[in-house]
Amino acid sequence: MDYNKLFAEEIAGKLDGSMSVESIMGLVEKPKFEGQGDLAFPCFSLAKTQGKAPHIIAGELAERITHPVFERVAAAGPYVNCFLKKSVVSNETLETILEVQADYGGSNIGQGKNITIDFSSPNIAKPFSMGHLRSTVIGNSLAKIVEKVGYKAVGINHLGDWGTQFGKLIVAYKKWGDEAAVKENPIPELLALYIKFHQEAEGDPGLEDEARKWFWRLENGDGEAEKLWTWFKEESLQEFSKIYELLEVDIDSYAGEAFYNDKMAATIELLKTNDLLTESQGAEVVDLTDEGLPPFLIRKSDGATLYGTRDLTAALYRKEHYQFAKSLYVVGQEQTLHFRQLKLTLKKMGFDWSDEMDHISFGFILKDGKKMSTRKGKVVLLDQVLKEVIELAEKNIEERNPALANKAETAQMVGVGAVIFHDLKTERQNNVEFSLEAMLRFEGVTGPYVQYTHARACSILRKSGMAPDGLAPVGLEDVHSWEVIKDLLAFPETIHKSFEQSEPSVIARFAIELAQDFNKYYGHVKVLEDDKQLEGRLALVFAVTVVLKESLRLLGIHAPVEM
CATH no. for residue 489?
A: 1.10.730.10
Q: What is the per-residue pLDDT for 7?
A: 97
Domain of 25, CATH number, reads: 3.30.1360.70
Do the Cβ atoms of 324 and 154 come closer than 8 Å?
yes
- How confident is the chain (563 residues) per 10-residue block, as mean pLDDT? 94 91 94 90 94 96 96 97 96 96 97 98 85 94 98 97 92 96 89 93 94 92 95 91 94 95 95 95 93 94 82 98 98 96 98 98 85 60 89 92 94 96 96 84 90 97 90 88 96 97 98 98 95 95 98 98 95
The answer to the question of residue 253 being in a domain is no
161-187 burial: b if 16+ Cβ within 10 Å, else e: bbbebbbbbbbbbeeebeeeebeeebb
Longest alpha-carbon distance in the chain: 84
Q: What is the per-residue pLDDT for 473?
A: 86
Q: What is the per-residue pLDDT for 241?
A: 92
Q: What is the per-residue pLDDT for 239?
A: 87
Q: What is the per-residue pLDDT for 393?
A: 92
pTM here is 0.92
> Can you tell me the distance from the alpha carbon of 147 to that of 142, in angstroms, rounded to the nearest whole number?
8
> Can you tell me the distance from the alpha carbon of 181 to that of 165, in angstroms, rounded to the nearest whole number?
21
Please say which residue of 37, 61, 84 terminates a domain.
84
The answer to the question of residue 33 being in a domain is yes
Q: What is the per-residue pLDDT for 373?
A: 57
Do the Cβ atoms of 278 and 288 come closer than 8 Å?
no
| Residue 529 CB contacts under 8 Å (≥ 6 apart), including other chains | none
Q: Are residues 431 and 526 in the same domain?
A: yes
Half-sphere exposure of 543 (CA within 13 A, CB side): 32
> Can you tell me the distance from the alpha carbon of 558 to that of 555, in angstroms, rounded to the nearest whole number?
9
433 beta partners: 366
Q: What is the per-residue pLDDT for 394?
A: 94
> Can you tell me the distance from the alpha carbon of 337 to that of 201, in angstroms, rounded to the nearest whole number?
29
**Strand 357-359's sheet: what is its strand order?**
152-156, 114-118, 326-329, 357-359
Q: What is the per-residue pLDDT for 421?
A: 97
Q: Are residues 75 and 180 in the same domain?
A: no
- 496 lies in which domain range? 382-555
| Interaxial angle between packed helices 223-247 and 206-219, expressed in degrees from 0 to 180 and rounded to the nearest 10 | 90
The answer to the question of residue 37 being in a domain is yes
User: Could you give the 3-state DSSP secondary structure of residue 26?
Assistant: coil
Please say which residue of 202, 219, 235 terminates a domain.
235
Please say which residue of 184, 216, 235 terminates a domain.
235
What's the per-residue H, E or C state across 244-289? HHHHCCCCCECCCHHHHHHHHHHHHHHHHHCCCEEEECCEEEECCH
The domain tally of the chain equals 3
Percent helix / strand / coil, the chain, rounded to 5: 60, 10, 30
Q: Would you give the distance in Å from CA 44 to the centre of its chain?
A: 35
Q: What is the per-residue pLDDT for 372?
A: 63
| Residue 6 CB contacts under 8 Å (≥ 6 apart), including other chains | 67, 69
Do the Cβ atoms of 65 and 10 come closer than 8 Å?
yes
The answer to the question of residue 331 being in a domain is no
Q: What is the per-residue pLDDT for 307?
A: 86
The answer to the question of residue 309 being in a domain is no
